[in-house]
């Protein structure tokens, strides 16, 4: 229901209309290195110094800095000599590249890839399919062939995926007690952030990252140290190749990429390979049963439309997929953050 205030003056619509302007201000400041510079400098800097150090125009930089102050991403101190800018705590922690909780790579993936696909959202709704062809001139039915169109693009994607686990990886891995499961396969485990959470939380487990050969190659080269003895790799295509036996399979942000039939196909394979007493841990963003929210999950589901052949689902929908594949007891744990966990038992 609209409030009387909104009908007098549509404040909420103006906020929505400006939503992407806000995102772009944050993305541009990250991309230009504003937050990194201010963290390194350890003192507040004037717009002139910031522009000189970043090699940007003075009048463009002044406006960007002021907009960041409006968004509470920067603080400003006005002295006689002029305005001096500094990071706010949240920017220092999440928007600088060097922070362990940095979201920089995720934001760059939003700015450079997702944003371009969303330009064609209307077409995606009309046609019911992803927009890689329009956004990047790639006509492939294989979502990941399109996503992995260059090594640079793959690295960007993998850094972006890892970033979110630095803020909610521990929550999803700790949602259930996984200590009884010692042989774990992370199917589509990508750059391995969740595998690292697993081995750091559970002393007795080994985790094998199962992913496409070119992803495994990059994960080994850029993300997982060879000294990490409890993380291993398995190169394969989980639709075409056999899935090895294990106690637990983690599928984090995997099923949301695919249509129902493919999800059941994959889950059946996992169910057959799973040791008795073992299980599957789905990690996904969950929609309310009546799909009335949460807003993030609704927006992510639209993102799956413009980028993949999948969608975000409700707990009941995941339960139906697990049951169709032969899993018995399923249990859900909500974390209160972006991603939740569902454990299905063989
Ligand atoms: C959305 S990403 C999720 C990555 C990781 N699980 C996470 O949550 O950060 C999907 C992953 O599935 C992998 N993948 C896609 N198709 C695959 C296939 N046919 N066989 C194996 N892995 C696949 C991709 O390479 C990618 O790492």
Distance CA(179)–CA(177), nearest Å, equals 6
239 CB within 6 A, ligand 1: yes
Q: From 257, 214, 250, select the one nearest 231 (Cα to Cα).
A: 250
32 CB within 6 A, ligand 1: no
Report pLDDT digits (tens) over 313-335: 999 999 999 999 999 989 999 99
Q: What are the E-state strand segments in the chain? A: 45-46, 74-79, 82-87, 183-187, 206-211, 231-235, 246-252, 274-284, 330-333, 340-345
User: Rounded to 5 degrees, what angle do the CA atoms 187, 188, 191 make?
Assistant: 120
172 CB within 6 A, ligand 1: no
pLDDT over 80 (residue 256): yes
Which residues sit opposite 313 in a β-bridge?
286
159 neighbors 151 (Cβ within 8 angstroms): no
Average pLDDT (185-202) is 97
Burial of residue 337 (CB within 10 Å: 0-12, 13-18, 19+) is: middle
155 neighbors 221 (Cβ within 8 angstroms): no
Cα–ligand 1 centroid distance for 257 (angstroms): 9
pLDDT score of 1: 63
Determine how many CB atoms are found less than 10 A away from the CB of residue 275: 13
Is 222 a known active-site residue?
A: no
In CATH terms, 4-94 corresponds, of 3.30.70.270, 1.10.3720.10, 3.65.10.10, 1.10.10.10, to 1.10.10.10
Question: Dihedral angle at the C-alpha atoms of 107, 109, 113, 114, nearest 10 degrees?
Answer: -50
Running DSSP on this structure, what letter comes out for residue 304?
Answer: H
**Contacting residues for 110 by C-beta, under 8 A, at least 6 apart:** 23, 27, 160
109 CB within 6 A, ligand 1: no
Report pLDDT digits (tens) over 146-162: 889 889 989 999 999 99
Report pLDDT digits (tens) over 1-15: 677 887 899 999 999
Cα–ligand 1 centroid distance for 190 (angstroms): 6
Cα–ligand 1 centroid distance for 193 (angstroms): 13
160 CB within 6 A, ligand 1: no
Domain ranges of the chain: 4-94, 169-345
In CATH terms, 169-345 corresponds, of 3.30.360.10, 2.170.130.10, 3.30.1490.20, 3.40.50.150, to 3.40.50.150
Report pLDDT digits (tens) over 12-28: 999 999 999 999 999 99
98 neighbors 53 (Cβ within 8 angstroms): no
Which residues sit opposite 96 in a β-bridge?
none
Distance CA(49)–CA(31), nearest Å, equals 18
Report pLDDT digits (tens) over 48-92: 999 999 999 999 999 999 999 999 999 999 999 999 999 999 999
Q: Which helix (H) or strand (E) holds 301?
A: helix 295-307
6 CB within 6 A, ligand 1: no
Cα–ligand 1 centroid distance for 314 (angstroms): 21
pLDDT score of 308: 94
**Contacting residues for 81 by C-beta, under 8 A, at least 6 apart:** 46
257 CB within 6 A, ligand 1: yes
Burial 210-248 (b: 16+ CB within 10 A, else e): bbbeebbebbeeebbeeeeebbebbebebeeeebeebbb
Cα–ligand 1 centroid distance for 10 (angstroms): 42
62 CB within 6 A, ligand 1: no
Given the residues 11, 59, 119, 256, select the one marked as catalytic: 256
- Closest protein CA for atom 3 of ligand 1: 253
Structure tokens at 47: 């717009």
Residue to probe by mutation, ligand 1, list 153, 190, 285, most atoms within 8 Å of CB: 190
pTM of the model: 0.96
Beta pairing class for 274-284 and 45-46: unpaired
Residue to probe by mutation, ligand 1, list 254, 340, 341, most atoms within 8 Å of CB: 254
- Closest protein CA for atom 24 of ligand 1: 188
């Amino acid at each position: 229901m609209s409030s009387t205030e909104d009908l007098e003056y549509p404040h909420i619509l103006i906020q929505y209309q400006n939503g992407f302007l806000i995102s772009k201000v944050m993305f541009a400041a990250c991309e230009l290195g504003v937050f990194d510079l201010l963290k390194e400098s350890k003192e507040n800097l004037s717009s002139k110094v910031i522009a000189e150090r970043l090699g940007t125009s003075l009048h463009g930089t002044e406006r960007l800095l002021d907009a960041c102050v409006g968004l509470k991403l920067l603080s400003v101190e006005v002295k006689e000599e002029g305005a001096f800018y500094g990071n706010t705590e949240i920017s220092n922690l999440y928007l600088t590249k060097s922070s362990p909780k940095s979201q920089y790579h995720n934001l760059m993936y939003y700015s450079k890839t997702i944003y371009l696909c969303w330009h064609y959202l209307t077409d995606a709704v009309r046609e019911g399919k992803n927009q890689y062809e329009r956004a990047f001139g790639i006509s492939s039915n294989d979502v990941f062939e399109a996503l992995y169109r260059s090594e640079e693009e793959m690295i960007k994607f993998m850094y972006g995926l890892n970033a979110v686990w630095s803020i909610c990886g521990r929550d999803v891995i700790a949602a259930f007690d996984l200590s009884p499961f010692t042989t774990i396969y992370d199917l589509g485990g990508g750059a391995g952030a969740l595998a690292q959470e697993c081995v750091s939380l559970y002393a007795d487990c080994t985790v094998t990252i199962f992913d496409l050969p070119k992803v495994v190659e990059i994960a080994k080269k850029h993300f997982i140290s060879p000294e990490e003895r409890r993380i291993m790799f398995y190169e394969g295509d989980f639709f075409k190749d056999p899935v090895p036996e294990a106690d637990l399979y983690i599928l984090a942000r995997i099923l949301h990429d695919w249509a129902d039939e493919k999800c059941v196909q994959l889950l059946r394979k996992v169910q057959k390979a799973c040791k008795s007493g073992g299980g599957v841990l789905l990690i996904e963003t969950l929609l309310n049963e009546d799909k009335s929210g949460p807003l993030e999950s609704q927006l992510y589901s639209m993102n799956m439309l413009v980028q993949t052949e999948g969608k975000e689902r409700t707990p009941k929908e995941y339960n139906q997929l697990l049951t169709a594949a032969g899993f018995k007891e399923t249990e859900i744990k909500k974390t209160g953050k972006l991603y939740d966990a569902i454990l299905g038992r063989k």
